[in-house]
Chain A
Amino acid sequence: DAGITQSPRHKVTETGTPVTLRCHQTENHRYMYWYRQDPGHGLRLIHYSYGVKDTDKGEVSDGYSVSRSKTEDFLLTLESATSSQTSVYFCAISEAGQLNQPQHFGDGTRLSIL
């Protein structure tokens, strides 16, 4: 498996609190992605990055922000968590941004907002 580490793996927190999820890679891949997975919705892209300090929104970006200050780290922040953000969050990386490059996924973070 690709060297991708997500932390924390599980988190329970309360509505209104800030939450930051971390994705760390050891592959030196340029592209990194954050998805959320919910029953009946498959995987939906939240934000992605195509380089250090270069990020863009996905299809469900409201309520989320990201930062990438180093190639290896991509942070996802929920500024004020809501119960609708309870989900499983996956980070993915790819060597290049073209569709012909597969994405490699981390093990996921299970986040519960009470």
Chain B
Amino acid sequence: GQQVMQIPQYQHVQEGEDFTTYCNSSTTLSNIQWYKQRPGGHPVFLIQLVKSGEVKKQKRLTFQFGEAKKNSSLHITATQTTDVGIYFCVARSGGSNYKLTFGKGTLLTVNP
């Protein structure tokens, strides 16, 4: 099935520093989703990227989809303590339209 590798596994930053997590696939992706899970919470959908080279922004968050549609990134500018959580990238599994494969996630901690 579809494999998505996410790096880094952990990232600790000082409040105000930037943060980036990367998602890589060995195969071309039709599209990719990003989710955030706060400590003790459940995953929450952030965004979906579909087009090659697509860039989307949500306030301090910037999402990119690679030109080859094999990688994606999430960049947070000037982190805040509210950004703490696990960030997952999600891709379709194999040829199924129904199943999603989650990356293992990047745990972001922010020191105030």
Contact = CB atoms under 8 A, between A and B. Distances in A.
A48 B99 contact: yes
B52 interface: no
B42 A42 contact: no
Contact of B98 (A40, A41, A56): A56
Given A56-B98, A100-B50, A90 B33 contact: no
Contacts of B33: 99, 102
A43 B102 contact: yes
Interface of B, helix, strand, loop or mixed by DSSP:
loop
B42 A107 contact: yes
A103 interface: yes
A29 to B, nearest CB: 12
A42 B45 contact: no
A105 to B, nearest CB: 4
Interface in A86-114: 90, 92, 97-100, 102-108
Contacts of A50: 98
A92 B45 CA distance: 11
Nearest to A108: B42
Nearest to A106: B42
Interface string B72-112: 00000000000000001001110001111111110000000
A104 to B, nearest CB: 7
Nearest to A6: B42
A102 B90 CA distance: 10
Given A59-B1, A102-B48, A90 B42 contact: yes
B98 A97 contact: yes
Interface of A: 31, 35, 40-45, 48, 50, 56, 58-59, 90, 92, 97-100, 102-108
13 contacts: A48-B99, A58-B99, A90-B43, A98-B97, A99-B30, A99-B48, A99-B100, A100-B31, A100-B48, A102-B33, A103-B100, A104-B45, A105-B43
Given A42-B103, A48-B98, A107-B42, 7 more contacts: A56-B98, A59-B1, A97-B98, A99-B48, A103-B43, A104-B45, A105-B44
